[in-house]
Structure 1
Amino acid sequence: MTGTAADAPAPAQAGSLFAGRERAIACAALAFVGVLQAILLTHKGINWDEFFHLTEIYRFRAGTLTHPLQTFWVRPLSWVADTGGTSVDQIILIRLFMLLAAFATAAGIFAIARRFAGTTPALLCAMAYLTAGYVFTQAFAYRADPLAAACLVWVMWIAGAQRLSWGKVALGAALTGLAGLFTIKSAFWVIPIGGYALWALWPMARRQQVSRIIRLAVLAGGGAALFAIALALHGAGLPSDTAEASARGLGSAGSVVFSEGLFPQGRFLLRQIAMGLPFAALALLANREWRREEPSWRGLILLAGLYGMLLSLVVYRNAYPYFYVFLLPPVAIALAPILRQATARGSAPLYAAIFAANAAILFMLDPAEPLPNQRIVQQGVREVFPQPVTYIDFSGHIGDYPRAVDFMTSGWGLRKYRERGVAEISEKAQAEPIPFLLDNHWVLTAAITGQSAPEELLPEDARFIRENYVHHWGPLFVAGKHVRPGSSTIRIEVPGPYTVEDAAVRIAGRDVAVGEALSLPRGEYRVVTQDAATLRWGNHLPRPAIAPPGGMMMSDY
């Protein structure tokens, strides 16, 4: 297969009215997919990781964000905290920018694929990517992956451009550094970028090759230097040592993300294949077409580059659904020859319809419950606690309220917490009151109920939760004590005002009637009551007027 300049389209079916109609159909179908995604981002439930990422913006603004690695994006997005609204509102706003990044990635796919296949097939490559299973449902997710992919696909375009000007080198270095700041897994992209760069370099004269290699080296070195400088500047504004924190983060990542055997997220891979079956089938067929049309070493190097990142699925622990947004752009480019053939046969409208239909099916199948429930929780918490107070939850559901601990962000975070062996929740409670808890993960449910779960807190932290919180509304638990009939000793570990409910009590030598409130500092108290009573944190703490949520509380990707 012979390529023309990366900066210009391959000769296509120009001059044909039918070809123009095909192109128009492909553009219309691509626009339809984009509209579906724009609608979906305002309706799709928010995943735990998106909530957590929003808390990092608030931690950055409060001066408590300590790790510089993979948090640079808090700077360009910190304005979202000033927009008002709830955490759900702010995440949806950020999702708009993530979707724009996904569209920029699709444009990069089009720009590269057009080198191999012409305009209409390249449009279909971009559409295949946007409708490829999890890419359709995750392209706008509030994570680093859409941002990094948008940078790297254009670095790839630059690396394979026939005319590699110094201006392009500077732009490529800037995009490389920026992608690294978004996520260190951007290093995976050396495979497709390197493969495409070698493919473009291969047929050049020796003198041209030397000049190009020098420019590519400057691009790579400049990108690394810009990454290091920007990371140092970003870290200088954080309350931590940048080098130490970065080394610690890299060490933790290396010990975890490649340590769980083969296909650690195999279930998501199988779902991705099923959800993006047209894309998966074409990727298999295109591989054979590449080898048939260009069986030389040059073609094999390009092919290895386009498909090589897929090997990360074998060992990479964090190959969750959102990872496919980052992973699949080179594979979408690899579809170019088979979609070129389909277009030559007049089948472009059929393929456009297949991709659009796959997107429509995924759109309709996405569960509608989580986002309304998440909005209810946002409203309910703010009715009970209109001013920010410290709380416990898994992911930072109320982004503008301070979290008691930050380790409950992922299975990785829980694992590192258990390895440290420090009861961080109990320690935090000794420093300041923690008035409420949101039961939004099985690790917290297990602590509340005393039942076993796949992941559990340390015994001291589980005891603290079980003995110091009572149910208030929906998933909301507030500090409190259930007191058994008779005489008993209780320990108040969340100091503050408490309201007596259910039965009168005698506490600390004072008779307190039902409905009365009293202030209880931290410490042990002798309590006597004839019937079971409840001490609930707060002075007649209100309950939300709205009904508690029912059904799914969190989007499972």
Structure 2
Amino acid sequence: MSAARPNRLLTALVLAVGSAQFVLIFRFEVNWDEFLNLSMLYEHQRGELREILQTAFIHLFHWVPLLSQNEVTQVIAARCLVAGFALVTSLAIWATARHLTNHDGGKIAVFAYWSVSYVMQHGLALRTDTLAAAPIMVALWLTVTRWQDMRAILGAGLLLGLASALTIKAVFFMPMLLIVALVQMWGRIPVTQILCWVLLAGLAATCAFLAIIGLHSLTFNGFDSPLAFLDRTKDATLQARDYSIFRSYALYGVFHNPLFFVLLFIGVIRALEQLATPAARRMGLVSLALLVPLFVPLVYRDMYPYFYALLLPPVAVATAYGLNTFQRFSHVTVAVLVAFWVWNLGNALYQSNGHQARILDVVHQSFAPESTYLDGRSMVSSYAKRGLFMSTWGMTDYRAQGRAIYTDLLRRETPVFLLVNAAALYFDRFNPEAVEAHPHGLLAEDFTVLHDSFVPFWGPIRVPGRVVDPEMDAIEIFTPGLYANRGPGILTIDEMTLDPGAEAMLDAGHYRVKTLNTSTLALAVNPPTEAAPKGPVFHGFMYAPFTLSGGPLVMLSLSKTRLTLLGPTGSKLRKWPEFRTFVNTVNLGLLH
């Protein structure tokens, strides 16, 4: 294959990647963290947002609610702005790799980055990680290519401060930038000048971070202590010798992205070879420094797929060193290369957001904008959500407190609907004991009160109400409003007799009830006539997992030619003590 043909092929692949990512902006399923980040914008507008760290990004998206009522459409619009940041990230990858290798090396680095399945799916998501990747990579480009210019080094410091204001995870990239700067400067400029420039860059980063957070805090009526937030974050996310998340997702990452790791391995070998040549030693050290982010799992526990969009841009630059081998690829090898990318793209296209948009349309049609509601994922971001955000982090904090919260919350907040979009709320698949047995499940008391206080409305939406059995003599109504007897029996509430279809205004409080046949009392809201979408609201991070509460409970692991079931810590499922409970409660239809 001639040198010109790989050049054209690489250009075509990069353009194909860009086109595919453009399609995924509009099609790919909205993740729960994207809804959460969108909800922070609305909470800030309502004066309810209390955290000033990790929330400065909201000022980039104040225009989003003007475009549509539906939160899915709003997230898609926000992704378009994120795509601008992703373009900057890609250009910085290309420019840095081109400087270290050649023009085609820049292209292969960009293609390798976007071919990674996790980046393909989450690289344009409404997340702080995807936003912060851009300033970090531009800072890296300045450090690699403009190391002799003090203004460029100060600019790199300012960009690192900007990235840290977007997400505190940017601090994980400080060692890499420092090592690259020292390798580039050492022996070329005086040591005192190196120290001065490094200190000035650190000061610039600190000032930029404090300035952005300070200006951001001025838009709050009041906020919680950022030190308390850092303390909670440290306890929840920093490593405590628990590598189960990393092990689970890294296994699938390697399996689905062999191209990236083959090129990376070849690039590392070539960088090591350069260490033996004095003239190329410096570039070899710079290339190896780009691998420092791969050690982040040693200190950071939450290595979920979305984090790789922030972790891998510097690492992708190192794949450019595999270019010489790429130029010797045969037609068959190139076909395999493209086949893996198409495979990952097909998996990404499998998840669409149409069902989520329809659910939100029904919510907006059925309930007033000032309504409060419950769910597990902050999905109706423009409404006032109450209760837990049921991520692993949120549920860990909740279980650490060890007390039920939802009875008091229902009495205080009077929510008008419950959206079942987290596994802890799957009332038809779990019982209270099974949910409480799981470390990230609701306490049995909370699960029971939510199950008993809401009745099915449409699809995953439930409304306040009670299923009244003949054995019951009293109920508690938490949400005041007009209630209807859905039947089939006649229902007596205090002194009122409601035939099937009859309605009555009820205040919050306790009522005596009587019925000869089981009857359903529900808030009088008319559901849509069309059928609700089937399947889960969120499909999770993996291609074919059993998922629960934002993380893998059980995954299929390819071991040679044999399928082995893995538990939540990577151990074989047959050794997992909760296997029997899991099999009895999880719906195997979630396998997809």
Name the TM-score, length of structure 1 as normaliser.
0.89
Write out aligned runs for 1:19-418 (5 A).
19=3, 22-162=6-146, 164-206=148-190, 209-241=191-223, 245-265=225-245, 266-295=247-276, 298=282, 301-340=285-324, 342-343=326-327, 345=328, 347=329, 355-366=337-348, 368=350, 370-405=352-387, 407-418=388-399
Residue 468 of structure 1, aligned match among 439, 453, 456 = 453
| Aligned-partner residue type, residue 365 of structure 1 | N
Aligned equivalents of 1:350, 1:116: Cα separation in 2 = 28
Query: SS where residue 141 of structure 1 aligns?
Result: coil
Offset, 1:210: 3.7
- Contact 2:287–2:318 at 8 Å: present in 1 too? yes
CA-atom RMSD in angstroms: 2.5
Aligned equivalents of 1:414, 1:138: Cα separation in 2 = 23
Residue 523 of structure 2 corresponds to 537
Residue 504 of structure 2, aligned match among 518, 528, 532 = 518
Offset, 1:39: 0.7
Residue 470 of structure 2, aligned match among 481, 485, 497 = 485
Aligned equivalents of 1:238, 1:497: Cα separation in 2 = 37
Query: Residues 9-38 of structure 1, C-alpha deviation per residue, up to 9 Å, x if partnerless?
Result: xxxxxxxx9655543432222011110111
Query: Residues 266-321 of structure 1, C-alpha deviation per residue, up to 9 Å, x if partnerless?
Result: 11101111121101112122212211122477567435421121122245221111
Residue 504 of structure 1, aligned match among 485, 490, 495 = 490
Mean Cα deviation higher: 385-394 or 123-132: 385-394
Query: Residues 504-535 of structure 1, C-alpha deviation per residue, up to 9 Å, x if partnerless?
Result: 22222122222222121122211122222121
Offset, 1:50: 1.2
Residue 434 of structure 2 corresponds to 452
Aligned equivalents of 1:360, 1:33: Cα separation in 2 = 10
Offset, 1:493: 2.1
- Contact 2:147–2:181 at 8 Å: present in 1 too? no
Aligned equivalents of 2:332, 2:91: Cα separation in 1 = 21
| Aligned-partner residue type, residue 459 of structure 2 | G
* Number of residue equivalences: 532
- Contact 2:175–2:292 at 8 Å: present in 1 too? yes
Offset, 1:369: 5.1
- Contact 1:66–1:240 at 8 Å: present in 2 too? yes
Offset, 1:422: 4.7
Query: SS where residue 301 of structure 2 aligns?
Result: coil
- Contact 2:263–2:320 at 8 Å: present in 1 too? no
Offset, 1:370: 4.7
Offset, 1:163: 5.5
Query: SS where residue 335 of structure 1 aligns?
Result: helix
| Aligned-partner residue type, residue 225 of structure 2 | A
Offset, 1:350: 8.3
Aligned equivalents of 2:339, 2:539: Cα separation in 1 = 23
Residue 435 of structure 1, aligned match among 380, 394, 416 = 416
Aligned equivalents of 1:402, 1:234: Cα separation in 2 = 22
Change (3 A) 1:143 1:369: closer
- Contact 1:404–1:425 at 8 Å: present in 2 too? no
Change (3 A) 1:290 1:262: farther
Larger RCO (CA within 8 A; separation ≥ 6): 1
Structure 2 unaligned blocks of 5 or more = 542-592
Query: Residues 165-211 of structure 1, C-alpha deviation per residue, up to 9 Å, x if partnerless?
Result: 354244323311110011111011113212221221134143xx543
Residue 579 of structure 2 corresponds to none
| Aligned-partner residue type, residue 42 of structure 1 | F
Offset, 1:117: 0.9
Offset, 1:328: 1.0
Aligned equivalents of 2:490, 2:217: Cα separation in 1 = 55
- Contact 1:506–1:528 at 8 Å: present in 2 too? yes
Residue 554 of structure 1, aligned match among 525, 535, 538 = 538
Query: Residues 241-283 of structure 1, C-alpha deviation per residue, up to 9 Å, x if partnerless?
Result: 4xx5211111011112124524232111011111211011121
| Aligned-partner residue type, residue 289 of structure 1 | R
- Contact 1:127–1:355 at 8 Å: present in 2 too? no
- Contact 1:370–1:554 at 8 Å: present in 2 too? no
| Aligned-partner residue type, residue 275 of structure 1 | H
Aligned equivalents of 1:185, 1:369: Cα separation in 2 = 28
Aligned equivalents of 1:445, 1:416: Cα separation in 2 = 20
Aligned equivalents of 1:499, 1:449: Cα separation in 2 = 27
Offset, 1:80: 0.7
Structure 1 unaligned blocks of 5 or more = 1-16
| Aligned-partner residue type, residue 235 of structure 1 | S
- Contact 1:485–1:529 at 8 Å: present in 2 too? yes
Aligned equivalents of 1:376, 1:368: Cα separation in 2 = 17
Aligned equivalents of 2:229, 2:285: Cα separation in 1 = 33
Aligned equivalents of 1:131, 1:509: Cα separation in 2 = 67
Aligned equivalents of 1:459, 1:18: Cα separation in 2 = 67
Residue 589 of structure 2 corresponds to none
Query: Residues 437-496 of structure 1, C-alpha deviation per residue, up to 9 Å, x if partnerless?
Result: 111111112598535133222344223212211111211111001111266111222222
| Aligned-partner residue type, residue 294 of structure 2 | L
| Aligned-partner residue type, residue 65 of structure 1 | L
- Contact 1:134–1:276 at 8 Å: present in 2 too? no
Query: SS where residue 42 of structure 1 aligns?
Result: helix
- Contact 2:268–2:321 at 8 Å: present in 1 too? no
- Contact 1:259–1:317 at 8 Å: present in 2 too? yes
| Aligned-partner residue type, residue 226 of structure 2 | S
- Contact 2:483–2:523 at 8 Å: present in 1 too? yes
| Aligned-partner residue type, residue 80 of structure 1 | V
